[in-house]
Amino acid sequence: NPNSGQHLGPPPVNTSPSRSVINTQSCLAATYEAVGRHEKALSMERDVYRGRLKLNGEEQEETLRAASNYANLLIEMQRFEESKALFRKTVSVARRVLGES
């Protein structure tokens, strides 16, 4: 049988965001922030952070940078408790991955 061992039907759906999609979202978030659309920028920064976590895991520099961008925007929007919680989580990972310097 020529089809034995072959997958029939549609290919599995990849639900992981691609690096290019995440990079585009990051640029859009910066643009929204620059034009004063802070809530939209925050939503996108959150998506970028979550996407980086899913794609790279928490110990990659890109993920740490996305967490920092998200936390900094939370500070700009005076959402200090959320920012503090994210920074506390991120700092321990960053120290482990990047060292103390």
| pLDDT above 70: percentage of residues in the chain | 83
Residue keyed to tokens 């072959």? 6
Residue pLDDT, tens place only, 66-100: 999 999 999 999 999 999 999 999 999 999 988 87
Of the chain, the percentage scoring pLDDT greater than 90 comes to 74
Q: Tell me the CB-side half-sphere exposure of residue 52, using CA atoms within 13 A.
A: 23
10-23 pLDDT, tens per residue? Answer: 655 555 679 999 99
User: In whole angstroms, how large is the CA radius of gyration of the chain?
Assistant: 18
The predicted pLDDT at position 100 comes to 77
Tell me which residue of 39, 17, 96 sits closest to 64, measured CA to CA.
96
On the question of pLDDT at 62 being above 80, the answer is yes
User: Measured between alpha carbons, how far is 6 from 58 in angstroms, rounded to an integer?
Assistant: 36
pTM given for the model: 0.79
1 pLDDT more than 50: no
